[in-house]
């Protein structure tokens, strides 16, 4: 009996001891879990970063595009192998892209501090419309289209604080719609486009009642320059030569005054842009330097510029959400503001049929420049700035919550000062047109007034026009399927014909100078998130 009592008491003491030890090991109080909280200060999709007062929004889209009879994102067949219509061109081009955006905002005593960035992960399964070995041998981003390849593009990356914006953002010259008043394609001429961002510094002041003003300094390298032609290097088969722009010496100064209210938007923008050339003596065709370049001198720099007026009218009586957008731009020495895309500015070389006796084909040539010069005695006396103006717009209509259609169009003119025969006078070449046509005659025989014969008249001026329509179907929120058809028209001012050596694979033959046109079809599927 005593043995049983001893066992029971010993077991109880052991259990009490074990319980005390376990109780001592337990924490006094569990740490609270910090859940992600919704941030309602800046709209839907924002959350507080745990442990901070900063709100973050992650977003983006996935987009699949295919363009028929053009290149990526609806570029018309207006130059290169596409413009020639030769056997190297692709009949269709596709791109798949996933864009990721990160938007952070923090409220401070100076206002909201914001950072924003967008990266595009994309894959082009064709070399942007061409199988030409000469192009495939040149490195560019679309060569990363091998199996398992692809590349990353950077769009907007900027910081905003107390009215200032630093980084890669939309220019202060731009409208909110950039080059997209209603179109899907990235190649609507007629005005400014920095939808992917330009390196800049700018300040915006809010005056109340929807009125604001912005002034900024833009890096001119990509989105404010086209080309400067030193015509002493010659004019090639497609009417162009090497780019003789000098290095960047000054930022482009931009600004706007904007009224943004419930009825719509009105904006006036302006820009000042430095045009500067490298040297008087350069390598023929490429404008690359030689050992004589530095001692040959250079023309004085000139300042060009541009102005724009833009208007958006909302709440049209045609339907809920319908609107109309239009902008008009004039530029001198700043042609990029008119012949503009979301990337570079094209020159045009389009081939087509002809009805002239013995003619091989017709061709439309048009060179896009900011300035032209011919150095030396009898030259132009410095840079001759190119003039341009353009208009573009769109009417956007919603048929119902699921279907919408946009009608869009544009028109632009580019003009060179002087006359084609200015180079024949006693004073020598005195104008941009005279300098250009004198060298054009060397590679294109038969120009009127040259050597007493003539089968064509020279005039590098040109007009371009575009018109198109896009229809979109949004079966569920954030998912849209669309189809866009567009036409491009080149009104070149050369008249007549010439026997010359065109760019390979074209032969040396008789070509008629003639206006050209082309159409494209783009289909797109996009999911926003």
pLDDT digits (tens, 9 = 90+) for 130-179: 878 776 665 555 566 666 778 899 999 999 999 999 999 999 999 999 99
Average pLDDT, the chain: 91
Report the helix count and the strand count for the chain, using DSSP H and E: 6, 27
Which token pair is 408?
Answer: 């869009």
Q: Is 485 helix (H, G, I), strand (E, B) or coil?
A: strand
Q: What is the pLDDT of residue 11?
A: 45
The string of pLDDT tens digits covering residues 50-83 is: 999 999 999 999 999 999 999 988 999 999 999 9
Name every residue whose Cβ is closer than 8 Å to that of residue 181 and which is 6 or more positions away in sequence: 188, 325, 326, 327, 392, 393, 394, 396, 406, 408
Q: What is the pLDDT of residue 13?
A: 45
Strand partners, 68: 92, 521
Q: Is 4 helix (H, G, I), strand (E, B) or coil?
A: helix
The string of pLDDT tens digits covering residues 217-262 is: 999 999 999 999 999 999 999 999 999 999 999 999 999 999 999 9
| Lowest mean pLDDT segment, chosen from 137-146, 271-280, 477-486 | 137-146
Query: What is the spatial distance between Cα 380 and Cα 375, in angstroms, rounded to a whole number?
Result: 7
Helix (H) or strand (E) holding 133: helix 133-136
Query: What is the spatial distance between Cα 196 and Cα 178, in angstroms, rounded to a whole number?
Result: 10
Name every residue whose Cβ is closer than 8 Å to that of residue 24 and which is 6 or more positions away in sequence: none
Query: What is the spatial distance between Cα 5 and Cα 326, in angstroms, rounded to a whole number?
Result: 101
Q: What is the pLDDT of residue 449?
A: 77
Query: What is the spatial distance between Cα 390 and Cα 385, in angstroms, rounded to a whole number?
Result: 17
Q: What is the pLDDT of residue 490?
A: 98
- The answer to whether the CB of 232 falls within 8 A of the CB of 373 is no
Q: What is the pLDDT of residue 245?
A: 98
Query: What is the spatial distance between Cα 279 and Cα 296, in angstroms, rounded to a whole number?
Result: 7
Q: What is the pLDDT of residue 141?
A: 54
* Residue that is written with structure tokens 């899907």 in the block: 184
The string of pLDDT tens digits covering residues 328-372 is: 999 999 999 999 998 889 999 999 999 999 999 999 999 999 999
The string of pLDDT tens digits covering residues 279-307 is: 999 999 999 999 999 999 999 999 999 99
Which token pair is 53?
Answer: 């007062």
Q: What percent of the chain has pLDDT over 90?
A: 82
- Provide the terminal-to-terminal Cα distance of the chain, rounded to the nearest Å: 78
Q: What is the pLDDT of residue 193?
A: 96
Is pLDDT of 418 > 80?
Answer: yes
Nearest to 313 by CA among 273, 262, 364, 279: 262
Q: What is the pLDDT of residue 451?
A: 60
φ and ψ at 16, to 5 degrees? -65, -40
Query: What is the spatial distance between Cα 346 and Cα 128, in angstroms, rounded to a whole number?
Result: 15
Residue 13 gets the label, from left (phi > 0), alpha (psi -120 to 50) or beta, of alpha
DSSP letters, 156-195, are EEEEEETTEEEEEE--TT--TTTT-SS-SSS---SS---T
Helix (H) or strand (E) holding 294: helix 293-296
Higher-confidence residue of 22 and 230: namely 230
Mean pLDDT in residue range 177-186: 97
Which token pair is 29?
Answer: 């109080």
Q: What is the pLDDT of residue 422?
A: 87
Name every residue whose Cβ is closer than 8 Å to that of residue 44 and which is 6 or more positions away in sequence: none
Q: How confident is the model at residue 19 (pLDDT cuts 50, 70, 90)?
A: very low
The conformation of residue 231, written as its DSSP 8-state character, comes to: G
Q: What is the pLDDT of residue 434?
A: 93
Q: Is the peptide bond before 404 cis (omega within 30 degrees of 0)?
A: no
- The answer to whether the CB of 135 falls within 8 A of the CB of 127 is yes
Is pLDDT of 112 > 70?
Answer: yes
* Residue that is written with structure tokens 């909280």 in the block: 37
- The answer to whether the CB of 329 falls within 8 A of the CB of 192 is yes
- The answer to whether the CB of 271 falls within 8 A of the CB of 254 is yes
- The answer to whether the CB of 448 falls within 8 A of the CB of 439 is no
| Lowest mean pLDDT segment, chosen from 90-99, 391-400, 420-429 | 420-429
Which token pair is 479?
Answer: 């998912």
Residue 41 Cα distances to 48, 107, 373, angstroms: 10, 9, 56
Strand partners, 366: 348
Q: What is the pLDDT of residue 405?
A: 98
The conformation of residue 355, written as its DSSP 8-state character, comes to: -
Q: How confident is the model at residue 452 (pLDDT cuts 50, 70, 90)?
A: low
The string of pLDDT tens digits covering residues 493-524 is: 999 999 999 999 999 999 999 999 999 999 99
- The answer to whether the CB of 229 falls within 8 A of the CB of 338 is no
Nearest to 279 by CA among 220, 240, 230, 235: 230
Q: What is the pLDDT of residue 7?
A: 41
Q: What percent of the chain has pLDDT over 70?
A: 89
Q: What is the pLDDT of residue 139?
A: 52
The Cα angle at residue 490 between residues 485 and 496, in degrees rounded to 5: 145
Helix (H) or strand (E) holding 137: none
- The answer to whether the CB of 278 falls within 8 A of the CB of 248 is no
């Amino acid at each position: 009996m005593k043995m049983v009592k001893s066992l029971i008491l010993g077991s109880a003491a052991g259990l009490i001891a074990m319980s005390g030890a376990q109780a001592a090991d337990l924490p006094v109080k569990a740490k609270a879990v910090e859940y992600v909280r919704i941030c309602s200060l800046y709209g839907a999709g924002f959350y507080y970063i745990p442990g901070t007062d900063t709100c973050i929004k992650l977003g983006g889209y996935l987009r699949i595009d295919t363009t028929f009879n053009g290149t990526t994102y609806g570029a018309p067949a207006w130059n290169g192998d596409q413009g020639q219509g030769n056997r190297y061109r692709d009949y269709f081009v596709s791109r798949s892209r996933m864009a990721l955006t990160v938007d952070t905002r923090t409220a401070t005593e100076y206002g909201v501090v914001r950072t924003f960035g967008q990266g595009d992960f994309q894959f082009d399964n064709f070399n942007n419309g061409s199988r030409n070995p000469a192009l495939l041998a040149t490195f560019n981003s679309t060569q990363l289209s091998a199996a398992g390849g692809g590349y990353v593009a950077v769009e907007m990356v900027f910081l905003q604080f107390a009215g200032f914006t630093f980084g890669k953002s939309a220019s202060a010259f731009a409208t909110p719609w950039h080059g997209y008043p209603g179109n899907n394609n990235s190649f609507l001429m007629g005005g400014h486009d920095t939808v992917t961002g330009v390196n800049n510094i700018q300040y915006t002041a809010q005056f109340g009642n929807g009125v604001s003003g912005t002034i900024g300094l833009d890096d001119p390298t990509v989105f404010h320059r086209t080309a400067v032609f030193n015509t002493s290097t010659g004019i090639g088969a497609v009417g162009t030569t090497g780019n003789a722009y000098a290095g960047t010496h000054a930022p482009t100064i931009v600004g706007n005054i904007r009224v943004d209210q419930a009825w719509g938007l009105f904006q006036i923008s302006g820009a000042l842009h430095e045009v500067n050339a490298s040297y008087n003596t350069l390598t023929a065709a490429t404008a690359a330097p030689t050992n004589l370049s530095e001692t040959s001198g250079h023309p004085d720099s000139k300042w060009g510029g541009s102005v724009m007026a833009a208007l958006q009218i909302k709440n049209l009586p045609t339907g809920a959400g319908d609107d109309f957008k239009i902008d008009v731009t004039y530029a001198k020495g700043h042609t990029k503001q008119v012949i503009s895309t979301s990337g570079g500015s094209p020159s045009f070389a389009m081939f087509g049929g002809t009805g002239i006796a013995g003619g091989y084909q017709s061709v439309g040539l048009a060179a896009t420049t900011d300035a032209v010069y011919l150095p030396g005695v009898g030259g132009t006396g410095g840079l001759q700035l190119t003039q341009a103006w353009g208009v573009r717009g769109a009417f956007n209509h919603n048929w119902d919550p699921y279907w919408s259609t946009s009608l869009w169009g544009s028109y632009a003119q580019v003009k060179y000062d002087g006359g084609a025969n200015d180079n024949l006078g006693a004073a020598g070449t005195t104008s941009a047109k005279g300098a250009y046509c004198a060298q054009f005659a060397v590679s294109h025989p038969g120009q009127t007034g040259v050597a007493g014969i003539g089968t064509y008249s020279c005039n590098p001026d040109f007009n371009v026009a575009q018109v198109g329509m896009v229809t979109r179907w949004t079966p569920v929120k954030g998912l849209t399927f669309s189809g866009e058809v567009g036409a491009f028209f080149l009104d070149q001012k050369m008249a007549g014909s010439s026997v010359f050596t065109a760019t390979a694979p074209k032969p040396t033959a008789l070509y008629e100078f003639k206006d050209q046109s082309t159409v494209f079809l783009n289909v797109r599927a996009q999911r926003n998130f």
